[in-house]
Amino acid sequence: MVITPEETAPFLEIPGITGCLGLTELDGTITGDTVETQAASVYVVDAGQWMERGGLPAFDEVDLEAYRRGETAVLLVLSQPDGTVTVTTYEEETGEDGETIYTAVNTAAEVTAAAGDTIALSVEAIVREENESEASYHREALSLPLEVGTVARLQIDAQDNQNFGLRVGDECLYTVLVSPGYVQRALDTLPEGSQMGRYRTDDPFGYQQVLLFTDLTAEYLSTDNAVSQLASNHHFSVGNIRMINVPVVQTNLQTMLTLAASGLCIGLITALLLLSTLELEAQRERRRYGILRALGMSRRQQNLALARQAALQAMTAIVAGCGIYVAISVRDTILNYQKTGSLLPPLAEVIAYHLGQLRYTWFVPLLLLGEFLLVVGLYLAAKGGLYKLNLMEMLSQER
């Protein structure tokens, strides 16, 4: 069953829906002079829709007319942050309670295909043959040549939904994107009543699934209700990624706000301790000022000396704090690496993960930055204020 453009048109009339993207997955095999014969994930997508959604900049380098005619394909590979291309496979294990556990394993792979290469994409087809008495069907690998428009390396975060449902690097090195024109080229070579994947020669063209995009500023409840009602009328199944992510975002907010509140409390306690320490320093400075004045130091020299000392102590406190954090981070990194093999400290890993999820909650990073500036500002203000008070007190005593 495929969803035709005529069936998706009513969805675009719902307030809050900003666009749609059709997607169909096929199983295929690719081969060529620079590519060994291997399985590949094949997706039928419209390049114009992808570019409109800004989902894949790699289409900018492709001849769109040739892509629409089904003569050019786009290859995608999964790239890690360090630039290594990997293929994800899954190892099956049996747990202690008898349940099956799947572990993802990333294996480095070499990309041999390049833009301009010619590959053959084979997709299994069910071919209909007319006999004297009845029609018969048999399976056949339908192979068509394609030119590689580009080989794009994608870094996909499974949580940000920017992969648009593509399984890049999952069990297969290459993910192949082809246009509806490729499907039409393939169907034109088959007898009437034949089938290739989800597509049949005697059925209208459509997509296996359609992704709907919404305006984040719109009233999403009414939009979701309208989409669900229309999908029910057409007997379409609906999956709402936004509703799935709502609890995740709430959890991330709670975690980050807890960290922020904890940091604020620690900052206030630190500020109070600094004020107490500075009071002790003020008493010491009174005695020191009298000695220096007795030795002949001018007021201007005293003032400059106090300012330099305040700046030096402030910088020393900041450097010392950073040094303590680095030392703790190094210790946590070593312990975490011994335990999990990850070089990221546990606290930094938690913060980086949650900040990565809070794509639209920009106020949380600003709140953390504000905490840091608050602590530093309180320290500098308290330091400068006490030194200024001491200087005025000592000058008045001198008069």
Q: What is the pLDDT of residues 104-122, one digit of tens each?
A: 888 888 889 988 899 999 8
Q: Can you give the pLDDT at residue 118?
A: 92
Same structural domain, 324 and 175: no
DSSP state letter for 170 = B
Same structural domain, 107 and 174: yes
- Predicted confidence band at 94 (pLDDT cuts at 50, 70, 90)? confident
pLDDT tens digits, one per residue of 191-229 = 888 888 888 888 888 888 888 877 766 666 677 777 777
- For the chain, the average pLDDT equals 74
Q: Can you give the pLDDT at residue 377?
A: 66
Same structural domain, 219 and 271: no
Amino acid identity for residue 320 in this structure: A
DSSP state letter for 207 = B
pLDDT tens digits, one per residue of 294-331 = 666 666 776 676 667 666 666 666 666 666 656 666 66
**Could you tell me if 302 and 293 are in contact, meaning their C-beta atoms sit under 8 angstroms apart?**
yes
Same structural domain, 137 and 204: yes
Rounded-to-10 torsion of CA 323, 328, 329, 334 = 130
Helix (H) and strand (E) counts in the chain: 9, 11
35, 72, 129, 180, 206 from 24: Cα distances, Å: 24, 17, 26, 10, 9
Same structural domain, 196 and 327: no
> What six digits make up the tokens of 235?
């007997």
Domain boundary among 209, 239, 269: 239
Nearest partner of 150 among 231, 33, 272, 62, judged by Cα: 62
Q: Is 116 exposed, middle or buried (0-12, 13-18, 19+ CB in 10 A)?
A: exposed
Domain boundary among 217, 239, 261: 239
34, 199, 212, 320, 395 from 9: Cα distances, Å: 42, 20, 11, 63, 82
Residue 367's CB: how many other CB atoms inside 10 A? 17
Cα–Cα distance measured from residue 100 to residue 94, given in angstroms and rounded to the nearest whole number: 5
Same structural domain, 74 and 122: yes
The maximal CA–CA distance of the chain, rounded, in angstroms, is: 124
Same structural domain, 235 and 293: no
pLDDT tens digits, one per residue of 131-140 = 777 778 888 8
- Predicted confidence band at 360 (pLDDT cuts at 50, 70, 90)? very low
Nearest partner of 56 among 148, 145, 166, judged by Cα: 166
Averaged pLDDT for residues 375-391 = 60
Q: Can you give the pLDDT at residue 160?
A: 44
Cα–Cα distance measured from residue 17 to residue 230, given in angstroms and rounded to the nearest whole number: 13
Same structural domain, 184 and 265: no
Q: Is 182 exposed, middle or buried (0-12, 13-18, 19+ CB in 10 A)?
A: buried
Same structural domain, 120 and 267: no
Residue 324's CB: how many other CB atoms inside 10 A? 10
> What six digits make up the tokens of 270?
């630190």
Give 90-94's long-range contacts (Cβ < 8 A, gap of 24+). 90/171
Q: Is 229 exposed, middle or buried (0-12, 13-18, 19+ CB in 10 A)?
A: exposed
Residue 370's CB: how many other CB atoms inside 10 A? 16
**pLDDT over 60 at 396, yes or no:** no
Averaged pLDDT for residues 47-65 = 76
Same structural domain, 33 and 54: yes
> What six digits make up the tokens of 349?
């890993």
> What six digits make up the tokens of 345?
């400290």
> What six digits make up the tokens of 8?
């998706």
pLDDT tens digits, one per residue of 131-179 = 777 778 888 888 899 999 989 888 765 444 455 667 888 888 999 999 8
Cα–Cα distance measured from residue 92 to residue 104, given in angstroms and rounded to the nearest whole number: 9
- In this structure, the strands spanning 175-178 and 38-44 are parallel
Domain boundary among 204, 219, 239: 239
Choose between 61 and 165: higher pLDDT.
61
The residue assigned the tokens 């394609």 is: 146
* SS3 assignment, position 218: coil
Choose between 39 and 387: higher pLDDT.
39
Averaged pLDDT for residues 341-350 = 57
Nearest partner of 124 among 214, 39, 48, judged by Cα: 39
| Bridge partners, 104 (sequence order) | 90
pLDDT tens digits, one per residue of 14-34 = 887 777 788 888 888 999 988
Same structural domain, 26 and 114: yes
Q: Can you give the pLDDT at residue 120?
A: 92
Same structural domain, 205 and 253: no
Alpha carbon 30 to its chain's center: 29
Cα–Cα distance measured from residue 86 to residue 25, given in angstroms and rounded to the nearest whole number: 21
Q: Can you give the pLDDT at residue 200?
A: 85
The residue assigned the tokens 């992808």 is: 50
How many domains would you assign to the chain?
A: 2
| DSSP notation for 116-138 | T-EEEEEEEEEEEEE-SSSEEEE
Radius of gyration of the chain (CA): 33
Residue 309, domain extent:
248-398
